[in-house]
Amino acid sequence: MIDVVIVVVAFVTVIVLENASGIAQAGVAAHLGALASLVSVAAVGSWALGLPKVQLKSYEARGMARSAGLGGLLGITAWGLNVFIGYDITGSGPVLLASLFMIGSVLVRLLMLRLVRGLYGLDIPVRNVLIYGAGTTGMQLALALRPDIGTRVIGFVDDNKVLQSVSVAGLPVFPVSAVAAVAQYNDVKRILLAMPSVSRPKLARIARRLGDLGLEVHSVPSFAQLVGEERLVNSLEKVLPDAFLGRKALDETLMDARDHYAGKCVLVSGAGGSIGSELCRQVLQCNPARLVLLEASEHALYQIQGELSEIVRHTTCQIVPLLGTVTNRRSMTAALETHGVQIVIHAAAYKHVPLVEGNVLAGVVNNVFGTVQLAQAAAAVGVDHFVLVSTDKAVRPVGTMGATKRLAELVVADLARSAQAMAIPSKTVFCMVRFGNVLGSSGSVIPRFQEQITSGGPVTLTHPDMTRYFMTMQEATQLVLRAGAMAQGGEVFLLDMGEPVRVADLARRMIEAAGYTVRDTETPSGDIEIAITALRPGEKLTEQVSITQRQSPTRHPKIFVAEELGLSASELQDALGQLRKAVSKGDVDAARKGLMHWVAKDLEALAVDGENPTGQTAGHAG
């Protein structure tokens, strides 16, 4: 009906123009006959070309060529009327008719589209966005977002000066220097990076610069990546691990803990790891004078140094990358003295349960004797505070990794217990902070499940009833720093991990969050299967945060202090001596047996002290 009406309007317009020039003199009957012929051609042609089936939001891409074709057909029809039946119209008439029809067809549909969008968007909030990158991907993204009523693309941002003088996809291209002003004027909160060919480090720098302006930055893939022709390196939507936490994560800043680290020299061991790197980011919020990054992996150290150097570029904080291992006492002492370290946060450890179970001696050397060397060096130099980052695997351990972390705790506790421990006078305040699994950390189930879901499954679980305590990376590291700030000496700080989460439920939620269904007996046609394997060596079905029930609250509602010192100083020396012999001989069995023997002795000592250590079954620190 639209095309028919437009034909009538176009025909009348041509007739009026022709009459005005005194050329067309045909009668009313001839005009009506010609109009009837044109209306018939328009109706049949429109239906044949499928114009009524083209959605308004798709017309710009799919319908314009069809309208042009129909306009041409009408022009040919008008010319044929002149040639075959002698209808008196000038040679320019058919061309004018075709042009007017095409212009009218396009304009009416665009106006209808705007009207429909306006009606649909009456109660829908509109988000203004900018697209960084006016290339092919940016242009395709702008066109793809055009039908979205809730999103309005303000324009492009590009550092190419040639593009800044032209219009891309009907939108202006702004220089990078104008981003802040454009965003403020148009109330833009989000910017989309449409540069899939740019290297990830450069993208990170651009994103950091835009983030400093208060913009939420998203990186989008190319459309070729989306259809599988190129490797998909990023996704439009952010993946938020805390969405699977099952409780509200900590939503606060370091607040009163800042003063403890402000203006100090802080050393973080294992700075390139997932926990260590986040600790470094959080420490930088406290404005330290110097941050020493101790890391055994050259690549990890290079990555974290580059990232943190960008963060502190406008501050006076000095970033010191230190390539080394905590097992070297001499280099640790030299590093602490050279850089004037005042606070040590010891996060370096081998933590993957199956790997440590298969590499017992390496686990003992790094987790136990690495802690001994760094802690003794801190005591000898006179570092103010030493914070050991521990794990719930240290509670009643059944495997090597947990046992090494428990002995590391005992080493630090023994140093705190006696200023003359191991004949080393010390003013250092020693403490430990113990917590459970961290979402998104290296080896966590979140990235592993994501990889399995991306590859089509199956998602593997070691046991259907396995439960774990989870907290976000930011929450865990902030609480570690808060606990370290309130330490007086010898405390075992426990973090409130909330309620345990069934890992099977977590896997199911992640599959469904990715837009898939779980394939099981109830849904055999589902997308991704959850496969049960078996408990791995050293792995427990449930985890706990506390060995005993003797806990005291602190001034922070999520931090508690436990009383858990079991082995005496002499027993600890015997344990370390036995392990040294096993390591020097390369005797894996002796090292494993020694670990489990002294862990058992520790639990016995706690029981003799008046409490059954096996009675604590809940991991909730509160």
Catalytic center residues: 393
User: What does the block give as tokens for 301?
Assistant: 């150290």
Measured distance CA(487)–CA(622) in Å, rounded: 19
Measured distance CA(535)–CA(559) in Å, rounded: 31
Measured distance CA(2)–CA(196) in Å, rounded: 42
Secondary structure class of 167 (helix, strand, coil): strand
Q: Determine contact, residues 470/245, Cβ cutoff 8 Å.
A: yes
Of 574, 221, 586, whose CA–CA distance to 414 is shortest?
574
Q: Determine contact, residues 2/54, Cβ cutoff 8 Å.
A: no
Going from the C-alpha of 525 to that of each of 452, 464, 468, 520, 566, the distances in angstroms are 18, 21, 30, 8, 54
Q: Determine contact, residues 196/226, Cβ cutoff 8 Å.
A: no
Secondary structure class of 438 (helix, strand, coil): strand
Q: Containing H/E element for 559?
A: strand 559-562
Going from the C-alpha of 294 to that of each of 370, 402, 473, 481, the distances in angstroms are 13, 23, 20, 17
Measured distance CA(492)–CA(327) in Å, rounded: 23
User: What does the block give as tokens for 77?
Assistant: 């029809």
Q: Determine contact, residues 154/128, Cβ cutoff 8 Å.
A: yes
Measured distance CA(204)–CA(201) in Å, rounded: 5
User: What does the block give as tokens for 398?
Assistant: 């059944």
Q: Determine contact, residues 279/252, Cβ cutoff 8 Å.
A: no
Bridge partners for 438 per DSSP: 471
Measured distance CA(425)–CA(112) in Å, rounded: 84
Over its C-alpha atoms, the chain yields an Rg (Å, rounded) of 35
Q: Containing H/E element for 266?
A: strand 265-269
Q: How many helices (H) and strands (E) would you count in the chain?
A: 22, 22
Measured distance CA(411)–CA(417) in Å, rounded: 10
Measured distance CA(474)–CA(66) in Å, rounded: 56
Angle formed by the axes of helices 92-120 and 64-85, to 10°? Answer: 150
Of 563, 565, 548, 560, whose CA–CA distance to 410 is shortest?
565
Secondary structure class of 82 (helix, strand, coil): helix
CA 584 to chain centre: 43
Listed in sequence order, the residues at least 6 apart from 518 whose beta carbon sits closer than 8 Å to its beta carbon are: 508, 511, 512, 526, 527, 528, 529, 530
